Amino acid sequence: MKNLFLILCLMVSSIAFSKDVIVKFGTVAPAGTPWADTLDEIKKRVDKESGKSIKIKTYLGGQLGGELEILNGIRRGRIQGGGITSAALGSVITEMNVLEIPFIFNSYEEADYVLDNFLLEPFKELFEKKGLIFVSWAENGWRNIGLKNKMVKKPSDLKGVKVRSQNAIPHMEFWKKVEANAVPIEVPEVLSALNTGVVEGFDNTALFTLAAEWQTAIKHFSITEHIYQPAAVVYSSKFWKKMNEEQRKILMGPGNKMAPPSRAAVRALGGELTEILKGMGINVYKLSESERGEFKKVIGDLQKEIVAKLGGDSKKIYDLILKGKESFKNK
């Protein structure tokens, strides 16, 4: 009888182990972008390494809602994973907002160095405390400003202009400093808001602008590069706890080693995207360093002001960024 019980237990265990694992993976990144390509690569690798027992189903372009909806779904375990920008992650991980402070990074190379060498482990811990398993950094890139009726060359060009903003402290504070009228709107509703006049413009990367077709509602695109926006690939802690060690290993894959090729794919498009915008009749203007300097002058000590407002371990993260920037400069 005892042996029969053991055999039954083993049979139940075997059945449970052989059951396919379905991983719903959500993002607002549209199809046809490097982000979608990265997710497709993850999907193929997991499919191969798991012998098709782990099936990743990607939901692109906000099919599962805006970023905040996707993020909440992941934390609750209803969505198993996702690719989320630092601004949305900042709604639950306060310290992520530090990464979005205007002009905190000077170049892609500096941002990569600091994120990979100084912030990886601290953020893994912060993510886990909020019900998320950190896999890898990803990237949206440098945010620029698109408007319907005029080109932005100086801070005063934004005075009183209704702009779509991510609902995050660094973004809202930036718009406040340049005296714009910021309206927080989730990604799936932005194009409609632009077309109906709820807002007159937005800030985002050229890549995301084209992928989401926001360029159809503007005439001017200013390359301001005022905010560098990273993102992260994450899994739900609730989902993660249900996986065995082998499944976790497969799902994690190379971890943050995915970041360099993912970033490279986004950056490789570079000037090609601005040429595409021009070809669509959009007026494109790149601010000079002195013009960007005017924005830096207007926002003043905004970096320290934002850190003070954020609380938590934000000061610690900010200090690590400064330490990383100094190390990058001297390497």
E strand or H helix at 201, and its extent? strand 201-204
Q: What is the pLDDT of residues 263-298, one digit of tens each?
A: 999 898 878 899 999 999 999 999 999 999 999 999
- Asked whether residue 179 is domain-assigned, the answer is yes
Q: What is the pLDDT of residues 191-250, one digit of tens each?
A: 999 999 999 999 999 988 998 899 999 999 999 999 999 999 999 999 999 999 999 999
Amino acid 11: pLDDT: 38
Range of the domain at 66: 20-330
- Asked whether residue 10 is domain-assigned, the answer is no
Q: What is the pLDDT of residues 89-112, one digit of tens each?
A: 999 999 999 999 999 999 999 999
Q: For the chain, how many residues are written?
A: 331
* Beta-carbon count within 10 A of 327 CB: 13
CATH number, domain of 260, equals 3.40.190.170
Looking at the structure of the chain, the number of domains it has is: 1
| Contacts of 298 by beta carbon, 8 Å cutoff, 6+ apart | 155, 177, 178
- What is the C-alpha separation between 77 and 151, in angstroms, rounded? 44
Query: If we measure between CA atoms, which residue out of 60, 59, 58, 47 comes closest to residue 21?
Result: 47
- Residue 201 near residue 164 (C-beta atoms within 8 A): yes
- What is the C-alpha separation between 21 and 55, in angstroms, rounded? 6
- Residue 85 near residue 231 (C-beta atoms within 8 A): yes
Question: Helix or strand or coil: residue 279?
Answer: helix
- Asked whether residue 14 is domain-assigned, the answer is no
| Contacts of 169 by beta carbon, 8 Å cutoff, 6+ apart | 90, 97, 306, 309, 310
- Asked whether residue 134 is domain-assigned, the answer is yes
| Contacts of 130 by beta carbon, 8 Å cutoff, 6+ apart | 75, 92, 93
